[in-house]
Structure 1
């Protein structure tokens, strides 16, 4: 075998020598006249012709898939001399990226075994867009170009002294200077579709997480979803174009799909397919940028397949001492405002619905929670002293599933399969859905009905949240309280404030007997600068005892109900957060989402009836009426 391989190499060597001794004219295909051109110059001309052909094909692909040519491709493309990766920042596509951190940005992107454009680099790679043959190479080059332009835009928009931002009328919230933005950037994903409105925001915060841990979280779809559970309904990595360089996330590029939600049935979920690109800009300084790719839409079709687009958005992370980091977040969307209910348009227009301050607030709250739960010290609170670490983990996991199911019932994400009901007797502010559970042990078997609605409340968000989470006042609105105050049996802290916690509640006078089949209430409450939530579900005591002893919580059946409280968009609180991490008073009014899930019938052959829908509708209406009456009387 070695002899055969040696003979093969000798034959190839002879062919190469012959080719070198007889250069061919690139124009006519005939033999080159000796001395007319050097062999090196001849090879350069061949390479230039190949690059021109590649350039034309990339522009054609850009027209086909993005609906526009990539204008920067008209600039010369510098060919890298290293085989260790593609140094994209050195002249590629004319993107000269200057660093706000005082050092040039080395935009290296390792795409595999060699330089992009060689067969070795592209061998075995599949196409994110479903292309075949040589188009795979060009398609990936096009995606890299979009990612680089997005990173350049994010870095410039994140700079603290950037003229791209100016103070709003309230003197606190930053507003995008659209004229300056239009002068600075060429849209990397094409012009804004007709009828779309623009939403842009920026926020900076200190977070208990270091840059490497945050980058790993953002680049892993499952960990990203767990970090932002109330915001992200579903996240999937569709294709990994680059894993990064040197065993790190530096230069990682992937194609993703996500569903981003606001806890209201009146605001549709934002489904977006996007590129996520990660880059280390300096020691302890990372950036992660997202940008929509409207793939699968014919350029001649004026109607996009999505109702929103995410322009370059993401975060720049600076490491700080003691494991903290400074995170600057930028959110930039274009969306169809006509699908948003009038009640929520002020919140959307203010940028607080899907804006940067919501991402920062959620990140701060979740990282604080993780820091507390990872602490080796157990709370000295009498309510939690009896719980082991395994029992605490099982309780928290059960509460996490409860809150996730509540969000899916309110927002109708594809994370759970719901069937929407359209009944004439219900208003357009009420969402009613149903699903038949057969084999999910986390829900009771039978037909489950979910109903949710929203209402404006003439009280501050903090006041409403404190009222709903107070177990002593629960009898004023909750039929599960048996007409009296409730008592907190277990309290597991998830934040510095008493409001962020998981707790067990029972009606006063009920004996805490492990053999008793009475019900207790599992409840999770949290609040931050963007939202406040109270979610609860009745759970039978025997099942809960298994969880509290550290057993598997997946087999505990529960149906969650609860409340989400959002700003109304008219309050004076800015992105710096008059509404603090403890749910500070934002004055004025707020928006209350009420959601209930109930078991209609446990029989496998059962069918949904109009009476069942009327029952849950009346339950929601009665609950809202009681809350309004109690808050009015107390004032």
Structure 2
């Protein structure tokens, strides 16, 4: 009756970049004595130099001064080897022997022919690249001269005289920015060309603005000074300004660039400042921003706070087990970012890429994005932002990623939340660790937040920097666990094979992502909210699944509700994740004995793990059921997420098979503290240390996608979720030992 499901397929964090290595065979047999002209002169490469100098395979009986012998292959032999080369330019010993047998050649002759062919192809490729680089360099030189002349002849629009840089029009300032970018590009291309031709090309760097002052642009969106070292040309890598697919107009892009640079400057200052700008809060355990000091330090910013919005600002730091480059890649890749922070980022999209950064990394990358941020509860409205994200590498191994809203570029829209300069500084530490300092600063209309969540939201624990940093820390531990190889095999149920661990963790990651996209208040996904479902405190949604191997086909219902418990969050988390207490609340287990068959630890906290549970049915006529479960907790919240899985499919996963074809239908719990308050006098009230528990189910009600949803199905789901809630309340509230 109840079958598994999933959300849309996604890029997972554990993918590794492949690296190209030069083969020992190529390095052992470099034919240094042959120039490119020799390859062309000898019948288009049809001659083969036998026993080349320096080769390990040289004939020991050959006299040192004996003239080298060339062997001319037949046309048939050449055609056959050319054809084989297209398919496999690096044949192994077995392939060389087989090819030599067919062509009546010695394996060594075949080997030398392929070596010569590879060297010839490499030389041709380098000549072609050099020609392209020279042409591009000449084009850049011409553009550079043109921009220089335009700036030299600039005139003041008022008096007609020569213009000072501060008096230049915006178009002329843009030309200056473009000129600086081209200078950097010429330098970069000259460096590449020098590697191939053996000497650097001449550039016009010495004649291009030798006395031009370095100056940041101040458009009233931040505070700049000569100490900042940030200027607009730093943003551009190799001129990778990509064509806009959708998003900002061409006229808006210079404004976005300047706004991003200003936001980066403000972020760095806010991340490094102390008191009185930041005020430590002993109750909440985070740093809060002094609005008065902020206005004194950043008087202009992105404009005054709109009516009806309130400020939320916080800062948090932590040392995480991940190197700084990988962290930057996660933040700049929208798929990885939304997966790692799936409990916070409900949905995200890159609208436009204004710069991809320098070759090989994200230094200078600039992206226009939209994202929706959530608390895992239908009682807290999501926050949607339209913003630019800018990544920059600074001195001393520090990277910074800054966000700032672009609402002013679409004045027709009314924003309920806008993002002042926010983001993080990432500092490289030894042994693959990084220090992350996160700043979160927004202005938001939170009047629609339900009363029981108001204390959590007001404290900054719901959307603030602490939640981002603790989530990142936990996910870094999860990744480190997935990559671990020294797993002891003594414990029963521990999955020790790297392939099995990776497949099971990937499946669990997809399960968590699917759960998070259906539990929040967003209705922008594939779900349709049902009106008149008969329960005001339960949100019921539906969707149809047809051709997705990760979802069972048919009509799926999702039901979610949130409520307050006068019990600390840790007690609720321990109760729900423990297989021994599962029969007290899980209606689907039907009173059967639940046993853990396998598990993967996900960090320091023993509660952070992925488990495979078996439900032994109390009725001997019913088959046993397998349940995949992930439990995770940190100081800002915890999750227990599970889904029934097929036994045959899980055997494939545990042996390292592809987990994408395992159908999942996740259900589970999100447990948040109800605020920063403490339990006083043994009596808990809302906001004084209890738990905010969200319960969510996804259930396949009909295996035919074209079927119509019946009211009876909705009533059944409502009854299931209410019964589960009552069982949990009865167990954790009435029994103090739970």
- TM-score tier after normalising by the smaller chain length: 0.7 to 0.9
Q: How many residues align?
A: 552
Counterpart contact for 1:475–1:484, Cα < 8 Å:
yes
* Cα offset, 1:604, TM superposition: 3.5
User: Residue 583 of structure 1 aligns with which residue?
Assistant: none
Counterpart contact for 2:615–2:624, Cα < 8 Å:
no
1:219 to 294, 315, 332: 332
Alignment partners' CA distance in 2, 1:615 and 1:347: 32
Alignment partners' CA distance in 1, 2:245 and 2:713: 49
Q: Deviations over 1:599-621 (max 9, x none)?
A: 11123332112221121111111
2:458 matched to 1:349? yes
Alignment partners' CA distance in 2, 1:541 and 1:51: 71
Counterpart contact for 1:453–1:593, Cα < 8 Å:
yes
2:184 to 81, 84, 90: 84
* Cα offset, 1:324, TM superposition: 1.2
Q: Deviations over 1:6-51 (max 9, x none)?
A: xxx9xxx9xx9xxx9xx999799xxxxxxxxxxxx99x82787993
| 548-557 vs 466-475, which moves further | 548-557
Counterpart contact for 2:617–2:623, Cα < 8 Å:
no
2:558 matched to 1:441? no
Q: Deviations over 1:295-354 (max 9, x none)?
A: 6633xx5xx443211111111122222221211111011111122222211111100001
Secondary structure at the counterpart of residue 272 of structure 1: strand
Q: How does 1:593-608 map to 2 (within 5 A)?
A: 593-608=694-709
User: Residue 629 of structure 1 aligns with which residue?
Assistant: 730
Secondary structure at the counterpart of residue 509 of structure 2: helix
2:350 matched to 1:237? yes
Counterpart contact for 1:199–1:351, Cα < 8 Å:
yes
Change (3 A) 1:404 1:79: closer
* Cα offset, 1:468, TM superposition: 0.5
* Cα offset, 1:281, TM superposition: 2.0
1:200 to 313, 319, 324: 313
| 159-168 vs 469-478, which moves further | 159-168
| 500-509 vs 311-320, which moves further | 500-509
* Cα offset, 1:412, TM superposition: 5.3
Q: How does 1:8-407 map to 2 (within 5 A)?
A: 45=162, 51-52=168-169, 54=171, 83-84=183-184, 90-93=215-218, 96-97=224-225, 104=229, 108-111=233-236, 125-126=243-244, 129-131=247-249, 136=250, 138-168=251-281, 170=283, 172-245=285-358, 247-294=360-407, 297-298=410-411, 301=412, 304-385=413-494, 388-407=497-516
User: Residue 482 of structure 1 aligns with which residue?
Assistant: 590
Change (3 A) 1:604 1:442: same
Secondary structure at the counterpart of residue 606 of structure 2: coil
User: Residue 611 of structure 1 aligns with which residue?
Assistant: 712
User: Residue 540 of structure 1 aligns with which residue?
Assistant: 646
Alignment partners' CA distance in 1, 2:699 and 2:651: 23
2:570 matched to 1:457? no
Change (3 A) 1:89 1:193: farther
Alignment partners' CA distance in 2, 1:187 and 1:46: 27
Alignment partners' CA distance in 2, 1:208 and 1:276: 24
User: Residue 670 of structure 2 aligns with which residue?
Assistant: 564
Answer with 1 or 2: which has the greater Rg: 2
Moved over 6 A (4+): 23-28, 46-50, 55-58, 76-79, 85-89, 509-512
Secondary structure at the counterpart of residue 507 of structure 1: strand
Alignment partners' CA distance in 1, 2:153 and 2:580: 91
Change (3 A) 1:482 1:98: farther
Counterpart contact for 2:260–2:389, Cα < 8 Å:
yes
Aligned CA RMSD, in angstroms, stands at 3.6
Counterpart contact for 2:669–2:695, Cα < 8 Å:
yes
Q: In structure 2, list runs of 5 or more residues that go unmatched.
A: 1-137, 186-208, 680-686
Change (3 A) 1:434 1:296: farther
Change (3 A) 1:383 1:401: farther
**Scaled by the length of structure 2, what TM-score is found?**
0.68
Counterpart contact for 1:225–1:233, Cα < 8 Å:
yes
Alignment partners' CA distance in 2, 1:205 and 1:363: 9
Alignment partners' CA distance in 2, 1:550 and 1:88: 59
2:576 matched to 1:468? yes
User: Residue 430 of structure 1 aligns with which residue?
Assistant: 538
Secondary structure at the counterpart of residue 594 of structure 1: strand
Alignment partners' CA distance in 2, 1:570 and 1:141: 43
Alignment partners' CA distance in 1, 2:485 and 2:327: 22
| 226-235 vs 495-504, which moves further | 226-235
User: Residue 110 of structure 2 aligns with which residue?
Assistant: none
Change (3 A) 1:353 1:89: farther
Change (3 A) 1:568 1:55: farther
* Cα offset, 1:422, TM superposition: 1.4
Alignment partners' CA distance in 1, 2:678 and 2:647: 45
Counterpart contact for 1:460–1:587, Cα < 8 Å:
no
Secondary structure at the counterpart of residue 238 of structure 1: strand
Alignment partners' CA distance in 1, 2:276 and 2:387: 27
Alignment partners' CA distance in 2, 1:187 and 1:597: 48
Change (3 A) 1:126 1:446: closer
Change (3 A) 1:56 1:325: closer
User: Residue 65 of structure 1 aligns with which residue?
Assistant: none
* Cα offset, 1:243, TM superposition: 2.2
Alignment partners' CA distance in 1, 2:399 and 2:213: 17
2:631 matched to 1:506? no
Alignment partners' CA distance in 2, 1:231 and 1:81: 37
Alignment partners' CA distance in 2, 1:223 and 1:407: 15
Change (3 A) 1:97 1:432: farther
Alignment partners' CA distance in 1, 2:284 and 2:248: 49
